[in-house]
Every structure is written in C-alpha cells, then in structure tokens.
Structure 1
C-alpha cells in the first residue's frame, strides 16, 4: 500500500494560503517593529527591581522640586599642569553653561593636588525624565566645553555616562543585525553549496525577527515588560540562531523524503511529521528555560525571559509554516545543483560521526572519565574570573564619559569623584546630615534639595568609585541612617550585584526543575534526562572557566558582568538540552524499533551527527557575533555561550552522552519499559544506508545527518 497523499487541490492551495497569511500578518505588525527602540531603557536604574534602595532614591528624586536631576562633571586637564589661561577658559565656559541652562546651585571648581585637573560638578533638573531633552542638554554642554592647545575638556558624570550608554546601545541594532545575517548567510552557503537554497531560510529568519520585534513591543505595551538593548540584541541572535537550526533539521529531512516521494508537498508533509515533534520539544524546552527568568528580581533579566521566548517561538512558527510553504512552491529546483531526484540514492560517503561513535564505543568508561576530567579542569578557571566590572570598564571602546572618569581617577586618587545620594525624611534631615558626616569613610556631605517630605544629601566618599572602600561606606550608611535611602551610581551598581546573586539562587534550580520535567515527559525516562542535564551543567562550568582564563589575558576585559553566570547558565542549559533532545529522541526511536541499546546510541549519533553539528556551528557563530559589540557584558555573554555550544556539539553530545548511553545500556531508559527489555514492534531494525548513514546530510555539511 503506497503512502497516503493529500488531494491535489490542497497541495496547491495550502502553501499559497500560508504565504498569503504571513504577508497579511507582517503587513499588520511590521509598523510596530520600529517602535521597540522607543521603549528600550538601558540605565542602571531601569535594570533594578522597584524595592531596591537605589531605585527608591531615584523615584523620590523624581518627585522633588524640578524632578529628576541630570548630574555632570566637567573635567579640564593639562598633563604639565593647568595654566592661568586654562583656568580662565574653564570659568568662562562654565559660566556660559550656567547662563544657557537652569542649574541647581552654582558650579564650584575642585582642583587636584597636582594642579593638572579642575573638575566642576554640574547638575540640572531642566531635562527632567525626557531622554531626548537630556541628550540635548548633555550635547549642548559638550559643545560648550571644549579644549585646545594641549588642554583637554570632557563631560562625564552619571548623566554623561547614561547618554553615552544610550548611544552605544542605539548603535548596536544595525551592525548586530547585518553581522548576524552575514555570518548565517556564509555558513548556509558553505553547508548547502547552492546559489538559491541558502536564501530561503535566511529570508524566513529575517521575517521571524521582524515579527518578534513587533510581538515584544506589544508585550511591553500590554504588560510593561522591561526592554533593554541587551535583551533585544540577544533576541535577534536567538531568532537567527535557533531558526536556522530548525531550518537545517527540516531541510535535511525534506531532502531525504524527496528521494522517496514524487511530490514536494507529500515529501514536506512527511518531513514535518518526522522531525516536527523534536523541533517542537526543543523550542518548548528553550522557551521554558527562558521564561524561568520571569522569577528574577532584576528587571533586565525578567524582561529578557519573555523577550527571548518570543524570539524562539517566532522562529519556530516561521520555520514550520512559512519555510515549508516556500520550499514546496519552489519545488526540487531550489536544491540546484544537488537536486534530490525521486527514487535516487544518496551518494555513499564515510561517516565522520560513525567513526567518532565507534571510538567512543570501544572504551566508553575511559572516554566518559576523560571527558569529565577535562570539563572539570576547565571549570576550575572560574576561580580566575575578574571581579565585577566597574562602570568605567563596561565599554570595550572609550566614550567621553569613560575618558573623563579615567582622568578624574588619576587626578583625585585620594577621594571619590562620584557622589552618593542620601535621601532623608525632612523631619530628621539635620540629624541625618550630622550622622552622615560622622560615618566612617565619608569625606564630605552637603544638603541639597528638599520637598515632598524628603531632603537630598550629596555625599563624597573617601574611597574611589566602586572600590571596596566606597562599597563599605555605602553599606555603613544604609545600616546606620534610620529611615533614609542611599542611592547614586555606585549604590545602583551594588544593588545590581546583590540582586543578581539573589536571582541566581532562585532561578538556577527553577531552570533545572523545568527542563528536567520536560525531558522526563519527552523521553519517558529519569536517567536519560539526568545525563543530559549533568552534561549541559558541565559545559556551562567549563565555558565559564575558559572565560575566566581569557577575559583579561586575551580580551583585556578588567571585570565580569554580574549577570554573566546566571544568563549564560540559562542559555547554555536550554540550548544544550536542545541538541540533546535530537540525539536522545532518535536513540529512543531506534530502541522502540527493536535495536539494542548500544546499536541505538551509535545509530542516533551517526544519523543526527552531521546536521546537528551544522546547527551547532551556526548557533555558535551567531552568538559569536556579540564578540564584535562594544559592551563588555555582550562580549562576555557571546563568548561563553558560543564556546559552550561548541563544547556541547563536538565533545559532550558526541562523546560523553554517547559513552554514558553505551555504558548504561538499557538502564539509560530507567524506569520506563525500554529499560527492562528491547521494545518489540514487529518490525526489524532499519538497516543503515550505504556508507553507514541513514539518509544524507546537506551538501557540504559534516556527514552522518539524516533522519532526526
């Protein structure tokens, strides 16, 4: 009895209907994609939870007379020492700034002891909370504050740093997208070796990215989720990375089915039935892992959860609806010059992954132990991770505010040049001011604005910004000042670190539990899911450890983003298990068909190895794009995830998971029925295709990929 086929009318209409539906949806939602940048927020205060002490300070400051304050530091410096003319220039320019803008107080010069530097703290409530007005204010001040003839003049401070950070994030969108598209295009051309085929999944991924931007904007409008430059950048990477992965799996299976079935529609229908469940399980696992970030207190992390999940789900929908429709409409000719003819046999080739599986099968315990020792040794590098990154070290380039901070740090090594803000109840303002001045580590404290029941006190610490001494001063102020709140840039950074530490303790077990439950339900086993989880956790530790060894020595990064351990864990566990699903799902399929446990493991590796290796290379390369970005947090995240994906693809899944499965035999499926005896379906195990493979990998891909 031949295969069941769809009526000819449906074969013609359904693909066109899907394409038409996508055109209609995109026409409706695309106008909203460009609005996502308007709601993106990248200040430190936007990342913090509402109950953080520094967040309370920022919210109360907004209610004080004049609203939110933009604080700047004007820095004048000459290496050989400032001249009288330099000081006159500085006074004139500061006076010009004061005449042009409403400043809070009169700026006073603070000279350095060595006579090389003058700093003028300047603050204004003129821009309020309007980011465009704040950018105009800072830009106008920078146009006024200029130096020449060896005199440098820079504008720094929290306000300048916030504007520079916004400009960096705004500049990411274009380069990040173009670089990602270029990387994926090159890899697809190498994998498919076709002048046409690579364009189809790339175009579909681009449309999926546009859809994800629109949906994320809708989520922000409906639920006020936090949207940051980091989260939108990672979402684009995920859409192209996992979307291309799903396309590779689907196209590989579709190519195989085209050799068996005459009509492209029927071949695609069989391909979706064959690899669709694994793709659905994979996307579900990744999305579930991402959504665990909703439990984070940190707004940037909790916002990244749904944003990343949206990217994965949009990629899933696009690659299982629009991509199949386009491939069916284009027919076999899209594979030119390697067209899979109906009834043809794939070219017999030596399987690299069959050889790798056989090498693991000869001494599975030895291979497993060696791999575990190697990953453990790499994980020791986590002890070499540099401390938390300071604000002045958070860019790989040097914006003006960062350069100004560096000048101040050299000129004023004996004190902080970044104020700490204390907000005290007005009824206790005098007592709080006195207590603040008496606090160990405080160099000076001055009363500022009052209103709405609160009085602002500006504090200068003896320690330099974000040093251990300044951190200790902030903690003493918070412990000793009754009813007061302590904020400012350094306090915000401290709250970021503390909140990240809390989130890690909560979310790591949550992610492990969620992924474990999904794997148990999918694989009908407890042992196999535990093997996969142990493998991806080991990969995370090893990748983070390598980061500890190279961040400073190779990349010159002087600190680690506080959110790196948590975010890299969530992404590597979710994405690593993603590939484990493809391997274990095929292994279970072979076992159900009657294969012995060892044969099932080797067949699964042989038949999924090539296409998953291609997918792993694409995903690693897309995250590797982040290495070219000018933000330390993105460089570090991209490196750890890209390396982790490569370790998982070529070491852990190929050797360690296969070796563990070979060593355990049927026990890998405990306590399911497959653990007690081989399943008997009345069908003999499928014989391998010529060359040791079942099916064929995409042209140019590592061989061994076939049915998944």
Structure 2
C-alpha cells in the first residue's frame, strides 16, 4: 500500500502549484489587452514570397514613391449633383489631404451619370490605419450639404472594419464562452464550487497560452490573425474543461472507494493521465500538420492551437488536482460522493445511470442493427457535400453586420467601374507595354488599362512618359466588376493564361490576384494536410490502443462523421442561413479540428473499454466502458460545442461557419458516433477489434482489478 504523505506536504504541495499558476495568470492576463498589437490581418502577408501576387506586391514598392493602401470616399445624390455638392466635396478633399498618414489624394472624379464623385485616398502603410480612416470619415462628412450621401470604402477601410469586427474577441467572446460553460457545469455537477474550480483551471490554461503566443508573435516567430486569436481562446477553454471533466469523473469514482482525497487523486490521475495525454497529443500533432500549409496564416494557427492544447493539458493535470486536493469531497457539495467500505476485497463502484445503462443494453442486444443504422444516417447526411460551396467569398460578404465600407462598395459599383480603387497590376517589359495594355483592355471584366507614369495615382492621368524600373513598367488595369468577385478572379486568370505569349516574365498582382492566390493555396492545402492529419492520428491511436484494427475503424468513423457534418453544414449554410459560400480554408479547419477533437472522445471511450476488457473480456468491457464514460463524455462534448458556438458572436463569416461545423460535428460525434456507432461496431467484431495484440487473439481471463 502506498504511504500517504504528511499533512503539511498535502497542503503545501497544492498551494505551491496554485501559486505557480497564479503567477502565470498574473503575467498572461494583461496580454488580453495587448495581443491585438501583434495580430496580423493583412492578406498580402499570408502568401509565400514565391506566389505571383506576392512578387508583384514587392515590385509595387519600386514603382510607387510610398507604400500605401487605398481608401475611397464616394459621394452621391440620386437626383444629380449640385454646384454646392461639388464645392463642398472639393473642400473635403483639402481637409482629407491635411490628415497625417494620408498620401497624395486623387479626385474628385465625377461619374458619367452625374450623380456621384469619387476621391481616392492613399493611406500610408506605416500609419495607424484605424486612426487615419476614422479621421477620413469624420472629415468626409463635415459640413456636406443635406441629402448628399457619403461613404468611405476601399481596401484600407474594409481592413479597418474587419479589425473592428474582430475587436469582440477579447471581451464578449470570452464572456459568452465562460458563461455557457459555467451553466453547463452547474447542470452536470449540481454543485456550486466544482464549476468554479473547473473554470479556474480553464482560465489558467487560457492565460498561460495567450502569454506564450503573444511573446512568440511579438518576436516574429509565428503569425497570429484575428481568426487564430479567437480559436486560441475557444480551444484553451474547451479542451481544458474537457480534460477536467474526465479527471473529475475519475476522482469522484475514486472517492467512493478511498477515505481521503490524496489516495483518491493518486488513483484518478493514474487512470486519467493516459487518455488525457493521448488526447492532447493527438490534437497537438493534428493541428501542427497545419505547418505544411502554403499560407502563413494557416501555418501560424498550427502552433497557436498546439500551445492552447498544451496549456489545457498542463492545467488539467496540475492546477485542477491541486484545487481538488485542497477542497476534497467539499468540491462536490451538496452531493458529495460517500465512501463505501470494500466487500471481500472488491472496491465499490459508482452506480450506472439509467440512460447509459439502457444504451449499453441496446448495444449488446442489437449491435449490428445499431451500427448499420448509424452508418446509413451518416451516409445520408454526407450527401449534402454535393451542395458545398467552398470556392471563396467576396471580401464584402465576409462581414455579417452593417459596415460603412461594404455599403460604400455597393454605392461605388452603382456609379463607377466596380473595380475602381483596386486595380489589377501587371509588371512587364517596357518593350511589350503597348501589347500588354491592349491585351488587358480586351480582357473580359476589365474596363480599361494604362501604363503607370508616376504623374498620378490612377489610370487615365495626364499624358507623361511611362515610369521604367530596370527595364520594366507597371500596367494598371481598372476592373469593370467588383475586385473581390468571381468575375474579377476570372479576369486575372485569363490575363495570366494569355500574358506568357507576349512576355513570359510578366506577373499579375493586386487585390484580386491576392485573393485568387490565397484560394488556390488553401485548396492545395487540402490535398496535403488531410492525409497528414489522418496518418498522425492513426499512429497515435495505434500506440495507445496497442492495435491496428481498432484505430483504423475509429479513423473511419471520424471521417464519416466529418463528411456528415460538412454535408449538413452545406445544407444549413445554403438554405437556412443563405450564406454566399465559404472560404476554401473552412473545410480544412473543420477537418483538422473535428478529426483531432472527435478522436478525443473515442480515446476516452476506448481506453476505458480496453481497461475493462483486460478484467472482464471485450464484449462486457465495451458495455461497461459505455456505461462508465457516457455521462462524462457527453458533458465534455456539450461543453466543447458550447464554447465553439460562442464564436457566433463575432460577425465574421469564416468564424461563424467554423463555429457551426465544429459545434455540430462534436455533438454528432458525442451523441451518435461515440455512443452508438463505435461501441456497436466494436461489440459486433468482438475481441478481434484489438488485433493483432494479445488481447485480440484470445478472450481475456477475467482478473481482479488492482
């Protein structure tokens, strides 16, 4: 029998552990307000340096006197502009030009219908865009005549409005997630203190992970986007809570057969460490596969998510045990687990709930009917994949709330060439300039094209010699369609296909080309990262379960669950929410998180099944495993789904879609796949599920638990 440490050790050791975590929180807490300073939402920096649009982006700095991002102020009056309107706008141009961080303003440029004026405002890249755009918006409307509509739009303004949408990540997202988890834990535990202990553990995980991520991003070692910042918070909270639920369940079981908290915690940790560590390792290795991505933003999410899971693991295995040891049975008040004296050397066990007793009975009576029905249901849901639209979404559709820049883009398209302010750039040899201009002007989706002279910031400026840099010139092509539309991407693709016949070294860039290259790279990532994630998860499961067949079947069920989730999501996005489509990264992120997190619950189940099978045989062990883990795994799934659902409060299409996919997928895994499909399939196969291990070759002789 293991000797219990002296009382002072049982008090001091947990206090020291908690002191360490409180110190981590003291350092990491303030980074919630400063991490936004290292967040990078600039799409141009996501692509590799070898991408064609990235090459052009670098070339632009050699042609333009300063590195700027355009904003566009559009004024309109449907009844036609008046003389007072024109005078007022001219005054506003002078005011805007005087704003710090604004380059040489171009305009006002009148529309052909006489109803609108366009002003191009270059925002210097080294200026604080949020401050400059706010000043431009204030100056643009100051004193303008009644009835004259004004919006500030263009890439610079869209970027600022996106940043404002992400601003809720630090506050409201965290508040909603914590509140949802707290309510669920109250219902699950019917205890006031235990939910606080679990949430405190999750908070430790979050503050520790955000501190490390902030330091790495500040050092320039990883890229943190608004998307990955939100996912960091959700993963740290959700995973830490899940791991805590498993440990608490084991601790509660152990308190029934042990008088005091210390030996009970020793037993609980011995039983929980392996599945929790295996689960964390699976998710960490799975998300690190994102390092294979061609996009810097995706590569950055890999280590960000891995750090969140690592701190969730550390907090659940150190901070939570310390809290539970200090509180003992009081943590479960008012429903404290009662100690039961063992009878004839057999320790007491927790009673099985009616629901999970019934599920276990169903699985044992009709295993084949249960798993075949489950597969048919998942297969039917997977048919929705035929309606999945994940080829990219116009930037103006990514914001789900009203925004000045989005409304301005629509107004701009009504009165000017829709691509005004976001030209397509072509870098070509000086000798081929005229032919390239003619090709661009004749391309569908392009209104006109001209060689950049340096005399003005937009095509159609005063006649002047072309600006030549190392024998190359810059051609600016104005799109007749919105720069973030599919038609604009088709125009860029057409140019890239036709240009090599004129100049094999010609490159096409600009806002549209950046979006196109991002979508192409994200689509290519699917073919690389999905097989890598499956292989990594398969290897972890083989090592954990000492089997080949069981891991292969588990991977198969998770993939089928993912297909069903994506199928249902496609139907919901298209017909219920009526979303315009999805970014190619959405199915990729959904796959990485669902496969990694979905396997979690299978790990929790099958490690318990294997543990029971060693004592009572495989088929009885499956039933016992389902009954023992049903409540805790279902609670864990609901908690994780609730935390991901909190992303719905951020009005960004990408995050809302990821939120739904992961939340629905986790619930599907928890309720159908882990509760019915996996146990029924395993029960039908029997001991061969453990092939080729010894456990799979012959039925185990029951042995007494130690």
In structure 2, what is the equivalent of residue 706 of structure 1?
none
Say whether residues 1:473 and 2:525 are aligned partners.
no
Q: Which residue of 2 aligns with 1:383?
A: 386
Q: What residue is the counterpart of 2:56 in the other structure? A: 57
Alpha-carbon offset, residue 628 of structure 1: 2.0
Equivalent in the alignment of 1:142: 137
The equivalences for 1:7-156 within 5 A come to 7-27=6-26, 30=29, 34-100=33-99, 103-104=103-104, 106-113=106-113, 115-124=114-123, 127-130=124-127, 132=128, 134-146=129-141, 149-156=146-153
Which residue number corresponds to residue 697 of structure 1? none
Change (3 A) 1:487 1:540: same
Contact 1:444 1:461 in 2 (8 A): yes
- Contact 2:4–2:263 (Cα < 8 Å) also in 1: yes
TM-score normalized by structure 2?
A: 0.91
Q: Are 1:416 and 2:437 an aligned pair?
A: no
Q: Distance in 2 between matches of 1:478 and 1:672?
A: 56
Q: Who is 1:579 aligned against?
A: 601
* Residue matched to 2:578: 556
Corresponding residue number in structure 2 for 1:539: 561
Per the TM alignment, residue 242 of structure 1 is displaced from its structure 2 partner at its CA by 0.9
SS at match of 1:198: helix
Check conservation: 1:195, 1:336, Cα contact below 8 A: yes
Matching residue of 2:635: 614
Task: Name the structure 1 match of 2:162.
Answer: 165
Corresponding residue for residue 284 of structure 1: 281
Specify the alignment match of 2:462 in structure 1. Answer: none
3-state DSSP class of the match of 1:262?
coil
**RMSD of equivalent CA atoms:** 2.4
**Residue 110 and residue 457 in structure 1: after superposition, are their counterparts in 2 closer, same or farther (change >3 A)?**
farther
1:238 aligned partner: 235
CA contact (8 A) 1:439 1:476 kept: no
Deviations 1:99-152 (A, max 9, x none): 556544632414154x4433333335xx2334x2x3222222111112563321
Distance 1:13 1:667 in 2: 48
Match of 1:689 in 2: none
Q: Are the counterparts in 1 of residues 106 and 119 from structure 2 also a CA contact under 8 Å? A: no
Match of 1:521 in 2: 543
Residues 47 and 300 in structure 1, CA contact (< 8 A), matched pair in contact too: yes
Task: Classify 1:446/1:139 alpha carbon distance in 2 versus 1 (closer, same or farther; 3 Å).
Answer: farther
Give how far 1:324 is off. 0.7
* Most deviating of 524-533 and 70-79: 70-79
Cα separation, partners in 2 of 1:314 and 1:428, compared to 1, 3 Å: farther
Shift, 1:38, TM fit: 1.1
Once residues 99 and 624 of structure 1 are traced to their aligned partners in structure 2, the CA distance between those partners, rounded to angstroms, is 45
Q: Distance in 2 between matches of 1:186 and 1:480?
A: 60
8 Å Cα contact 1:244-1:618 kept in structure 2: yes
User: Aligned in 2, Cα 1:415/1:402: closer, same or farther, shift over 3 Å?
Assistant: closer
Three-state SS of the structure 2 residue aligned to 1:197 is: helix
CA deviation after TM superposition for structure 1 residue 221, in Å: 4.1
Q: Which runs of 5+ in 1 are unaligned?
A: 687-708
Superposed displacement of residue 480, structure 1: 3.4
Compared CA separation, residues 100 and 30, structure 1 to 2 (3 A):
closer
Which residue pairs with 2:463 in the alignment? none
Structure-2 change in CA distance of 1:554 and 1:438 (3 Å)? closer
CA displacement at 1:215 relative to structure 2: 0.8
Q: CA deviation at 1:31?
A: 5.3
**Secondary structure in structure 1 of the residue aligned to 2:577:** coil
Deviations 1:416-435 (A, max 9, x none): 33533324256457346535
Name the stretch that deviates more: 236-245 or 336-345.
336-345
Partner Cα separation in structure 2 for residue 328 and residue 636 of structure 1: 41
Following superposition, the deviation at residue 384 of structure 1 comes to 1.9
Of residues 83-92 and 627-636 in structure 1, the stretch that sits farther from structure 2 once superposed is 83-92
**Secondary structure of 2:70's partner?**
strand
Select between 598-607 and 88-97 the one with higher mean Cα deviation. 88-97
Q: Distance in 2 between matches of 1:300 and 1:534?
A: 29
8 Å Cα contact 2:22/2:204 also seen in 1: no
Check 1:361–1:86 CA distance in 2 against 1; reply closer, same or farther (3 A cut): farther
Asked whether the equivalents of residues 591 and 678 of structure 1 are also in contact (C-alpha less than 8 Å), the reply is: no
TM-score normalised per structure 1 = 0.90
Aligned counterparts of 2:679 and 2:608: Cα–Cα separation in 1 = 12
State the distance in 2 between where 1:558 and 1:56 align.
Answer: 30
- Is residue 620 of structure 2 the alignment partner of residue 605 of structure 1? no
Q: SS in structure 2 opposite 1:50?
A: coil
> What residue number does 1:397 align with?
401
Aligned counterparts of 1:472 and 1:593: Cα–Cα separation in 2:
64
Tell whether the 8 Å contact from 2:291 to 2:300 is kept in structure 1 after alignment: yes
Q: Deviations over 1:163-182 (max 9, x none)?
A: 11122222322111111111
- Contact between 2:256 and 2:337, CA under 8 Å: does it hold in 1? yes
Q: Quote the Cα distance in structure 2 between the aligned partners of 1:118 and 1:429.
A: 34
The separation in 2 between residues aligned to 1:567 and 1:517, in whole angstroms, is 21
| Range moving further from structure 2, 321-330 or 431-440 | 431-440
Trace 1:147-546 onto structure 2 (pairs within 5 A): 149-222=146-219, 224-343=221-340, 348=351, 350-386=353-389, 388-412=392-416, 415-424=418-427, 427-428=430-431, 430-431=433-434, 433-441=436-444, 442-448=446-452, 449=454, 450=467, 453=470, 455-481=473-499, 482=503, 483-546=505-568
Identify the range of structure 1 (494-503 vs 64-73) with the bigger mean alpha-carbon deviation.
64-73
Q: CA 1:380/1:78 → structure 2, altered by over 3 Å: closer, same or farther?
A: farther
Q: Structure 2 unaligned runs (5+)?
A: 342-347, 455-466
Q: CA deviation at 1:80?
A: 4.1
Change in 2 beyond 3 A, CA 1:578/1:96: same
CA distance in 2, matches of 1:106, 1:388: 31
Is the alpha carbon distance of 1:211 and 1:63 closer, same or farther for their aligned partners in structure 2, counting shifts above 3 Å?
A: farther
User: More deviation in 86-95 or 396-405?
Assistant: 86-95
SS at match of 2:643: helix
Give the distance between the partners of 2:227 and 2:610, measured in 1 at CA: 38
Cα deviation digits, residues 441-474 of structure 1 (max 9, x gap) = 2321233345764644321123333334322221
CA contact (8 A) 1:429 1:455 kept: no
Find the aligned partners of 1:6 and 1:568 in 2 and give their Cα distance: 46
CA distance in 2, matches of 1:429, 1:419: 23
How many residues in Structure 1 have an aligned counterpart in Structure 2?
677
- The SS at the match of 2:449 is strand
Q: Provide the secondary structure at the position in 1 that maps to 2:257.
A: coil
Q: Distance in 2 between matches of 1:9 and 1:194?
A: 28
Q: Name the SS for the 1:226 alignment partner.
A: coil
Is the contact made by 2:166 and 2:650 (CA closer than 8 Å) also made in structure 1? Answer: no
The range that moved more, 65-74 or 285-294, is: 65-74
Paired with 1:162 and 1:380, the residues of 2 have a C-alpha distance of 37
SS in structure 1 of the partner of residue 575 of structure 2: coil
SS in 2 for 1:493: helix
